[in-house]
Chains A and B, each alone.
Chain A
Amino acid sequence: MTQFGTWQPATRGKVLYSWPRGACEEELRFTDPEQLGSEPYDVAIVGAGVVGCGLAYWLSQYELRVLLVDRLHDVGEGTSKANSAIIHTGYDAKPGTLESKLLRKAAADWPDLAARLKIPLNPIGGIMMAVTDEQERQLEAAEKNAHTNRVTDVRILSADEIREREPNASSDVRGGLLVPGESLGDPFMASIAYAEVALVNGVDILLGTGIAGVELGQSPGAPLHHLVTDDGHRLPARRIVNAAGLGSRRLADDYNGGAFDINPRRGQFVLFDKCARSLVRHMLLPVPSTHTKGVLVSPTIFGNLLAGPTAEDLPLDDPAATHTTVEGIRRVMEGGSRLVSGLARQPVIATYAGARCACSQGSYVIRYNDGTPGVVTLTGVRSTGLSASISLARHLIVGMQKELGLELSPDTAALDARPESAWPGWWRRPFENDATGARADHGRAVCFCEVISEGEICDALDSPLKPRTMDALKRRTRSMMGRCQGFDCQVPLAEIVSSHTGITISQLTKNGPGSELVAPGQAAVTA
């Protein structure tokens, strides 16, 4: 059953990085648009977050030339990486909205999608917990809202029923709402799996490549546009999808996109050690107030416990949008302790913050031919992007077919799944089952906290997207994500990456140029 070794398929698409010489292997460097061929792209997607990757995955099922481009050095590295990793049913979405419709569709698709793409998923269900009289009064409306959204298995629980299910629930709990369909997902693997399959099917992926502007085509009908990269390369495309998230406003200015404003909404999270996992059985959700959805306490798919997020509106381009604050962490602990007693004495291993893409014009803003023919704006996918990514992509493709004249003829050779060997190692647990294909280096643990082996690191380095940053490896393997946060394994890991790829240790980065692990300008040392 357990299958080892990397999935190393022949890829029809190319993955390239705009990196200085030496920061990755020469054959992975993007230096000339000719590397991608001279044919214009049918669709170029700007932004390789979970939404952009999901769209690339669906487009790759058709005979189209598709480009996925991102300024960061891995897929899913922006907003998509720092969230609560819940696959929502959409029970609390505003009825009748596009968001609610897409979430409902996606919820039905997720079990099959996760199994096909090898995305770890755990359907543990959620309980919305009321801890004040006022919140208790809101439960009925919340149940009604869920039923209106056709999430029919949602029902109200009494305080006693909750205590039976959640022995560590706070003593203040008055009642709650059971939401059986909420699932835990792997927040990182979704983007990666989408992008890997897309790449195999022929989508070109360009990472570490910022888009400085768009040169608009002038011819009437279907004009040919060009994306201009930060290095001045021109990439021809007949259609452009702006899925740039927090960067979508700036990009929209380049093609005269309509009015919308983006505000990063910072969410800070506290991650507890694995011993805290046994505290709860479901994800415990607060009753939302008018201002915020509140702080939830949830297990993670990795076996930790998570509390968060805060909701702090920050100005666009605020560098602190992904920074944590002592005050914010205190508020998360306070909020979490209102739902679960004993949370405060659990050991914290890490804190992090993500910036949700909140749009002043509402959620899920989609505009076809926005300001310019052939350009699609997709923005305001606040915090449900992971859950809705799959139905949103299909919705967009139908829209592009109708509004942009995108011709869809299915690619019969296209894959829509990843093989067994693509399951992440931490999920398939090396050596613990009847492992086939395991090598000796699968028995050499490097990351002791998560028990991740040298073999798994090498497998990840050889995987289709050729991840070359420490953070990209971390998201694929879980190395450095355990309780010691890389204390023991950062240096040995860097040595493995260096000897496997030939990148010098002094040029290895956490997440791309500028984030070198050692002070810059030192001698080139290879492990």
Chain B
Amino acid sequence: MPEHRIAAQEEWQTARDELLAEEKEHTRRRDELARRRRELPWVPLEKDYELETADGAKSLSDLFEGHSQLLIYHFMFGPSYEAGCPTCSSMVDGVDGLLPHLHARDVAMLLVSRAPLEKLQAYKRRMGWSIPWASSANSDFNFDFGASFHEEQMREVMPPEDELPPIAAHNADATGTDLVSYISEMFGATVLKLQDGVVYKTYATTGRGVEFLMGYYGILDRTPRGRDEGDAFQTWIRRHDEYGTS
């Protein structure tokens, strides 16, 4: 651990006091953003989608499981992947334990990926998860929600490999596919509301907007060394059964 300024209690207290005032301000701004999210207009979905699930083909409105809100995480697991994205996996690790609390607030949660259902189910067993996971292999769902791109189009628009962050090649390797196939899938969250039989899209986010799923970042942000990852962000993340093996 590098050198660090050591202080007596009084000096620490002054510095911590100042920071606390700003932390409180940040918490209140977070409340304000949540309030503004709830004021966003809703958009009715014009198309229905059938997704493959462990209980057969289901329409979106079937996937709310009796709740009125559905949070979908677009998990990067394309048809050519041999295993799920490690970063997405690290997010889903945290979800199972929260489902009872989310259900109690009328929220169902679902993973959707474009790989065939059997591949998703085998990986889910390996990871020991219970969260529902649907395949959109036979649907436009992923393309319409910006969670998959056609590889030919991706080849045309993607930046040169050396301009991509290191995590792209790292995770392409970890998922057993090539770079273009890896980045043709996209991560993100979409939130739907079911009201009077109509499904509305209320919110969607991607990029750093999915950090709400990465509980370990909120914890690391309060440790002495922080996230400690620099430009090679997330390359330290492994599947939970792979730490210590490489």
Instruction: Answer yes or no: do A and B interact.
Output: no
Q: Which B residues lie at the A interface, using CB under 8 A?
A: none
